[in-house]
Structure 1
Amino acid sequence: MASVDRALWQRIIQDVVANGGNIIRPWFPQLEPISLAHGLLEIQTPGPKERAYCQAHAAVLFTEAAQKATGRLVGVCFLTHAQEAEAADVPAVAQTQAGAGLASADAPLELNNDYIFDSFVSGPCNRLAHAACCAICDTPGKTYNPLFLHGPSGLGKTHLLQAACHRILHDQPDARVQFLTCETFVNHFIEAVQQGKLHDFRYRYRHVDVLVVDDIQFLCDHEQSQEEFFHTFNTLYQTQKQIILSSDRGPQETQLEERLISRFNWGLVARIDRPCYETRVAILRTKARLRGIELPEDVVCFIAGTIDSNTRELEGTVAKVAMLAQVTDRPVDLAMAEEAIGSEPRSSRREITIDDILNVVTKRFSVRLIDLQSKKRTRSIALPRQICMYLARSLTRHSLEEIGGYFGGRDHTTVIHANKTVKSMRESDPLFQATLEKLVEDVSAGVTA
């Protein structure tokens, strides 16, 4: 069994980091090369769940990286520590076949041990959703039932759902908690119809204490599944069992049956938004601490200022930096962060300024800068001013006092009020939300142009 040269492994990892995108997971730095022999690269994973993920999602990524680094036709096999110990006696092909039956359609979806409340970073973008999930754990079925979380992908909805499951099971070990994706619910229903096992299906989902369904919008275009979920919902609600749902859009935009939408609104509907700069900084520090990584302040600020899309990308970047630091045996610095992100050279980038925001907003609303900095309070002036304050708070590092000072010497309470006003309008008016997103896009485009 030939060991893997560290320089070769380093080249493989660098290629994985460069091309992995959202495939990369926080535990990737724990992957270790076992051997490279007879055209097969064996890689050790931390456990069986990680091995299953790599086999399903990362095999092509690692295979292409290994072939590029070696210049040969190389295959990749992922093994757990236990499987590695047996590798001398059991052929790799046999191991793969033995593990193929593990992914049963009826197997419950395992909870991720990292998805707990202690590792979730709460900020203005998700505070209501976080508080609601904590509250329902104290009295499941009686507070905020149902709880409906919605927001774009990668902002922490699944984290909060699983954190609630963990907390309920910790406080009530005998509680029957069912966590699954909507796709799994639909597939199980179809299988039950085909096999004549509807009674078993209904018993499984209607005799739980907590039903948690991720990505409920996938019920769209499945009329019979919607009918079944409607009756499942009613049964659980009438018996005061907790229902938690998540979606990438609000109830009204799910295109589901009106009777389902009305029931989703019976409890609490909480939106999760993209994290602001301060929250992104806190997320990076928390994720780095949990991984045992020391991120310098300039690296944290650079990543937080560059990646503003979602939490998943921030966590993926921390994983990339950790992998590069491990395989190159270098301390984490700004150059490594730029390499992990794949960004353009620092010299050709600059941070967003309040002037960038003013240029875009004044053009969009046809107002003058002197009016935004004046004491005028007419709506045609006040709203663009509030939007400027909101964007400055979200896109720059300026403090509340600095932002207020830029707009005619106003104090920090005015900036806080402006943020609350804009957030309220954004949550209640889809057209206003679209306008804000276009403004952010234009500001960012002006900086990187």
Structure 2
Amino acid sequence: MPQNAVDFSSIIDAARKADPANARGWYEQLELVSFEGGTLKVMCPTTAIANFLSSNCTHAFTAAAQTVTGHLLGVEFVCDDFEEDSPQQYQPQQNTANHDIPYTLHPDLTFDNFVVGQSNRLAHASCVAISNSLGVTYNPLFIHSNAGLGKTHLLHAICTNVASNTQNLKIRFLTCEAFVSKFVEAIENGDLLKFQETFRNVDMLILDDVQFLSDRESSQDEFFHTFNALHSQRKQIVLSADRPPSEIPSLDERLLSRFKWGLVARIDKPSYETRLAIVKKKARVRGIEIPEDVASAIASKITSNIREIEGAITTLGAIAYTDNAEIDISLCNDILGCKEVEPQSVLSFADVIEAVVKYFKVKQSDLKGKSRQKSIVRPRQITMYLARHKTKMSLEEIGYKIGGRDHSTVMHSIDKIAKLSREDKLLKQQIKDLDNLLDVAKG
């Protein structure tokens, strides 16, 4: 079969449907470069993408190619930008556990795909800084947060950025558990000197889940000397954990003091606005179009774990691909386990703000703006009060809808109106009037 007879776009479509969980928006950047010896060679934009496809999508693309062409054939993912000894080195269909980076760098986990908000601004800025100036800016850099808030994303992004901008650097990126396992194996095999040479002769060491050092005295001692060797040579050290250094049980005081030498950056739970941006970004990366109300529902329901947000988006995309279904709020509610509510029985923020605008004869843009005029501030506070009591919106959602205000501002406004309405007869009557208007709107 000649190459020009292969309908590669149909193969991509079939691969998306065969494995929607791994489908990505950048599938459109893939190119069929040759068809020789029963193998389709697919050119990938980067080594990270080639590794991702080789590790996760070979079966789906092979099955898709065979279905579309009607022939038994294989698929190979290639790229033309890998360098010898590159930390991202392209190694198709191999377990990379024994290579410089046991993680295959994920093409989605880049700085460009990381959503920055108040909860992670310091961690993100410090990671960008060190990736552009190894061993100089913050050394060590210690990032900590609860699970699923973006630590590993930032570690991958550092590696990807360094590998893209600088050649011939030695990088070790692995979990602390893998470090300990390799250390124990080196002792058992009498290869301790080789182990030490491996980890003390690098330009950057990234260790994920450092809390695994807890109660491991020999491993802590070995890492203490590894840390000293690297730091004295101004080599970059990046560490992550699920808690700050001071809360890691049974951590040697020597290590504790060294972990605090550089910068300790915490990632907090993202705000509603940040979660909403994350939903939209994750959907775009996967090539999935999500309506605004669906994105808002996901951001409202899943509040503390970005991986769960990714899971919801992946599930939505999978159902849409396999069942040819439309992604809408009904499907979203089914996936999130939400009880469907009849639209007529629910008041929306739009209902509230429309009632306030008509009642006080003010502009919606003024309510959402920054005006401090009393004639605007009071209706704005009443809007937040009513939105909290008449809808199912969270404080964060209300703040986002009323001009990007934070939840503390919303809470202050709600408390103020609640207090004043007990003393101010005019305000009490205004609230009652608006309640009646909204009851009519509710039907």
Maintained 8 Å contact 1:27/1:319: no
Q: In the alignment, which residue of structure 1 is the partner of 2:273? A: 278
- Structure-2 separation of matches of 1:223 and 1:240: 26
Q: Are residues 1:103 and 2:99 paired?
A: no
Q: In the alignment, which residue of structure 2 is the partner of 1:408? A: 416
Q: In the alignment, which residue of structure 2 is the partner of 1:297? A: 292
- Structure-2 separation of matches of 1:159 and 1:317: 18
TM-score, normalised relative to structure 2: 0.62
Q: In the alignment, which residue of structure 2 is the partner of 1:79? A: 59
* Structure possessing the higher radius of gyration over alpha carbons: 2
What per-residue deviation string (whole Å, max 9, x for no partner) do you get for residues 95-131 of structure 1? xxxx9x9436523322111111000000011011001
C-alpha distance 282-85 of structure 1, shift in aligned 2 (>3 A): closer
1:221 is displaced (CA, Å) by 2.2
- Structure-2 separation of matches of 1:328 and 1:177: 44
Q: In the alignment, which residue of structure 2 is the partner of 1:315? A: 310
Q: Please give the secondary structure, in 1, of the residue aligned with 2:238.
A: strand
Q: Please give the secondary structure, in 2, of the residue aligned with 1:106.
A: coil
Q: In the alignment, which residue of structure 2 is the partner of 1:392? A: 395
What per-residue deviation string (whole Å, max 9, x for no partner) do you get for residues 328-347 of structure 1? 11221111112222333345
Maintained 8 Å contact 2:291/2:327: yes
C-alpha distance 334-85 of structure 1, shift in aligned 2 (>3 A): closer
Gaps of 5+ in 2: 1-16, 28-48, 75-90, 350-387, 389-393, 418-443
Q: Are residues 1:188 and 2:196 paired?
A: no
C-alpha distance 133-351 of structure 1, shift in aligned 2 (>3 A): farther
C-alpha distance 241-195 of structure 1, shift in aligned 2 (>3 A): same
Maintained 8 Å contact 1:115/1:159: yes
- Structure-2 separation of matches of 1:321 and 1:30: 18
Q: In the alignment, which residue of structure 1 is the partner of 2:430? A: none
Letter in 1 for 2:206: V
Q: In the alignment, which residue of structure 2 is the partner of 1:129? A: 123
Q: Are residues 1:214 and 2:208 paired?
A: yes
Maintained 8 Å contact 2:300/2:397: no
Letter in 1 for 2:150: G
TM-score, normalised relative to structure 1: 0.61
Letter in 2 for 1:333: D
1:406 is displaced (CA, Å) by 3.0
Aligned alpha-carbon RMSD (Å): 3.7
- Structure-1 separation of matches of 2:314 and 2:210: 29
Letter in 1 for 2:233: T
Maintained 8 Å contact 2:149/2:305: yes
Maintained 8 Å contact 1:47/1:80: no
Percent identical among aligned pairs is 41
Q: In the alignment, which residue of structure 1 is the partner of 2:326? A: 331
Q: Are residues 1:163 and 2:157 paired?
A: yes
Maintained 8 Å contact 1:321/1:337: yes
1:405 is displaced (CA, Å) by 3.6
- Structure-1 separation of matches of 2:242 and 2:23: 26
- Structure-1 separation of matches of 2:97 and 2:171: 18
Letter in 1 for 2:254: R
Letter in 1 for 2:178: T
Q: In the alignment, which residue of structure 1 is the partner of 2:234? A: 240
Maintained 8 Å contact 2:25/2:286: no
How many residue pairs match? The answer is 310
Gaps of 5+ in 1: 1-12, 17-23, 32-45, 55-77, 91-98, 354-387, 410-449
1:138 is displaced (CA, Å) by 1.9
C-alpha distance 136-30 of structure 1, shift in aligned 2 (>3 A): closer
What per-residue deviation string (whole Å, max 9, x for no partner) do you get for residues 191-214 of structure 1? 111111111111111111110011
